[in-house]
Structure 1
Amino acid sequence: MGAPAAEDVAHALRALADPLRLRALSLIAASPTGEACVLDISELTAVSQPTVSHHLKVLRDAGMVTSERRGTWVWYQLAPEHRDAVRAVLQAFAAVDARPTGTVPDLDRHLDQVASDLAPRYPTIAAARVRDVVRDSSTALARTSGLGVGLVNLTERFARQRLDDLVRIEGGTTVPRVLFVCVANAGRSQLAAALLQRYAGDTVLARSAGSAPAPAIHTHVRPELEALGADGFPKPLTDDAVRAADVVVTMGCGDVCPVYPGTRYEDWAVGDPALASPDGVAAIRADLDTRVRTLLTSLTRSGAS
C-alpha cells in the first residue's frame, strides 16, 4: 500500500472510530431501502438529532456516506465506493453485537436459515435484501426486548411482516391495511389490531407497532389478546409499515409517524393500559371495540380511501 492510499484508509478508519458512527452505518447498511435519515438514527440510538447530524457530517466528509435532501429530511446512504468495505467491516465484527450472550447458540446460522427459508416466498425481492431485513429485524427486537431463546422465532415473524410490507408497497397486494401505532406496542395498538382482524377476517389486514416498544405485552392485556386468539409481541415502527398502510391510527405516540400523501391518518385518545387494573383494561378494550367497528364500517363504505 502506497503512502497516499494509506493516508486515505487511515482517514476513513478515524471516521469509523466512534461507537455512534458505527451504529449509524450499521443502521443504514441494514435498512431494507439502503438509507436512513437523522430522525431514524436518533430514535434508534436515543441520541439527539443535532448530535446525530454532527456525526453523519463527519462520515460524509470522510467519504463514507452520501446524502440527498428530499422535502424536509436529508437521507444518507453508504457511499458506493466504500459500500463493500463498510459491509465487510460490520459483518466481521457482527459477533460483538450487543445481545444476550449464549441465549441463542449459532444465532448467525439460524438467521441465515430464516433468510434462506423466506427468500423463495418473496421472489420479487432480492435474496440479499431479504437477508438484510432478517438481520435488521433480529437486531431491532434484541435491542428493545432481550428476547433470548425466542429471538429467532419472533425475528422470522417480524421479518415476514416487513417483507409483506415491501410487496404491498410494490403493488403486490390489494387488501386494505390498517396500522395501529402507540408508544410501547404492548397494549392499545395490539388490542386494536386484534379486534379489527377478528371482525374483518381476511377483508382487511391489521398490524401494530410501537414508537418505543416495551419488552413484553402488558400483563393485564395478554389475557384479552388470548381471548381474541391473538399472539402479539412488541415490535418497532418501520417506515415501510407506514408506507404500506391505507390507514394509520396513532394512540399517544406523538409525531413520530411519517406522513405520506394518500394515506389516511387518525389519532385516537384512548387510555393507556400499562398501569390499569383488569377492569380498566376491560374498559379500554370496550372503547377500542367501538372505535374499531366504526373504522371497519368506514373502510367497507369507502374502500379505505
Structure 2
Amino acid sequence: MPAPAASTPALESHAIGADAASAVASTLKALANPLRLRMLSAISTSAGGEVTVGELATLTEVSQPTVSHHLRVLRESGLLAADRRGTSVWYRVEPTYRGALSTLLDRFAPAAVGSPEPPHPPVLADAEPALDHLADSLAERFPATPRGECVRVVRESYTALLRRGGDPTHLVPLTEHFARQRIIDAERAHALESAPAEAGASRTPQVLFVCVANAGRSQLAAALLRHHAGDRVAVRSAGSAPAPDVHATVRTLLAEMDDVGAAEEVDDVTRFYPKPLTDDAVRAADVVVTMGCGDVCPVLPGTRYEDWTVGDPALASPAGVAAIRDELDRRVRALLADLLPA
C-alpha cells in the first residue's frame, strides 16, 4: 500500500496546528456527555453564575457521587472552577471559556437539535408591486419620512425577513409590520438626537430585548413586559441571527398570556415573529436588555444596557421553560418598577 501523501505547505497553513487540535479534542471529549452539558448550561445561566453539587444533583436521578465525578472531569479539562464555602462547594465556568460556552449553547446547540437553515432569499421581482404599495402607504402615514426612505426600509425589511426563513405565506404583512416599526423607531431616534430634553420629557420609555434567535427569551421577556406595563412602556424584541419561527414551547406560553400588544398587532400573523436587530431599534431604546447574544448589539452613549443570564427555552425541558418564564417575569417586574416607580 503506498504511503499517504504529505500535506502541502499551503494546506498545512490553513489547518489547525497539531498541538491545538489535541487540546481542543480533549476539551470536546469532556463536553461529550449529556449530563455534563446540562450541568454547564445550568451553571452558566444561574443567577449568580455558580451552583453547588447538591443543586446540580437535582438535574437528574443519578447519585451525588456520579455528579461529583462529572464535575471533576469538567474541572480537570479547565472548563470549571470551584470554591469551598463552609460545607458547600460552588462551581462556576472559568472566565476564559465563558464566551466559547455561550456560543456552544446559544448557537451550536440549537442547530444540533434541528433548527433549519434559512433558505437563500429568492428574487424580489414577484413581490415588487406589493412592496411598492407598502412603501406608498407608509409614506402617506409617516409624512416626516421621505418616500425614498420608505422604499429602502420596506425592501430591506423584506430581504431581512426572507433570509431568516420560515413560512413565506405571510411575508408581505410581516414586512409591513417590521418596516412600520423601523420607521417609528427611526423617527423616535431622530427626535431624541435632535432635541433630547424635549423628547425625553414626555416620551413613553422604550425597552428593547435582544437574544440570538428572537425565538425564545427575548419574545417571552417582551410579552411579559407588555402584559405588566400595557401601553405605559413601548416594547421591542429582536435577534442577532433571527430564527424562522418562535419556539413551539414559547409560543404556547405567549398564547397563555394573550400578549396582544398594541392595537395594530392583534392579528395572529404579526403578533409574534423573529425580527432582525437594527441600529434604529437600539438608538430609539432607553433600555437594551441582552440575553446570550454577545457583543453584536451596538453600544451607544446615553442608553442603559443590562445583560440577563437566562437559559434558552429551545434547549430546556417543559419544567425548565416554565422556570425560565418565572425568572424572566421576576426580572421584568423589577425593571418595570425601576422605569415607572409610581
| Cα distance per residue 1:64-94 (max 9 Å; x no partner) | xxxxxxxxxxxxxxxxxxxxxxxxxxxxxxx
Report deviation, 1:105.
Answer: 8.5
Q: How many residues align?
A: 204
- Residue 175 (1) aligns with residue 204 (2): yes
**CA separation in 1, counterparts of 2:297 and 2:219?**
17
The gaps in structure 2 that reach 5 residues or longer are 1-118, 193-198, 260-270
Q: Partner of 1:250: helix, strand, or coil?
A: strand
Report deviation, 1:256.
Answer: 0.6
Alignment of 1:1-305 (within 5 A): 98-100=120-122, 106-171=126-191, 174-230=203-259, 231-301=271-341
The two structures have a TM-score, normalised by structure 1, of: 0.64
**CA separation in 1, counterparts of 2:177 and 2:323?**
30
Report deviation, 1:301.
Answer: 3.1
Report deviation, 1:99.
Answer: 3.0
Is the contact between residue 186 and residue 280 of structure 2 (CA under 8 Å) also seen in structure 1? yes
Q: Partner of 2:319: helix, strand, or coil?
A: helix
**CA separation in 1, counterparts of 2:132 and 2:244?**
25
> Could you tell me which residue of structure 2 aligns to residue 68 of structure 1?
none
Letter paired with 1:99 = P
Q: Larger relative contact order (C-alpha < 8 A, sep ≥ 6)?
A: 2
**CA separation in 2, counterparts of 1:170 and 1:147?**
34
Report deviation, 1:100.
Answer: 4.7
Structure-2 change in CA distance of 1:129 and 1:287 (3 Å): same
Greater mean alpha carbon deviation, residues 172-181 or residues 128-137? 172-181
**CA separation in 2, counterparts of 1:265 and 1:179?**
10
**CA separation in 1, counterparts of 2:321 and 2:298?**
29
Letter paired with 1:167 = E
Q: Partner of 2:295: helix, strand, or coil?
A: coil
| Cα distance per residue 1:112-169 (max 9 Å; x no partner) | 1111111111111111101100000000000112441211010011111101101111
The structure with the largest alpha-carbon Rg is 2
The two structures have a TM-score, normalised by structure 2, of: 0.57
**CA separation in 2, counterparts of 1:176 and 1:167?**
15
Report deviation, 1:278.
Answer: 2.1
**CA separation in 2, counterparts of 1:137 and 1:147?**
16
Is the contact between residue 99 and residue 146 of structure 1 (CA under 8 Å) also seen in structure 2? no
Letter paired with 1:209 = A
Letter paired with 2:121 = R
Report deviation, 1:98.
Answer: 4.9
Is the contact between residue 100 and residue 146 of structure 1 (CA under 8 Å) also seen in structure 2? no
Is the contact between residue 166 and residue 245 of structure 2 (CA under 8 Å) also seen in structure 1? no
The gaps in structure 1 that reach 5 residues or longer are 1-96
Structure-2 change in CA distance of 1:266 and 1:113 (3 Å): same
**CA separation in 1, counterparts of 2:244 and 2:166?**
7
**CA separation in 1, counterparts of 2:166 and 2:205?**
33
Report deviation, 1:277.
Answer: 2.2
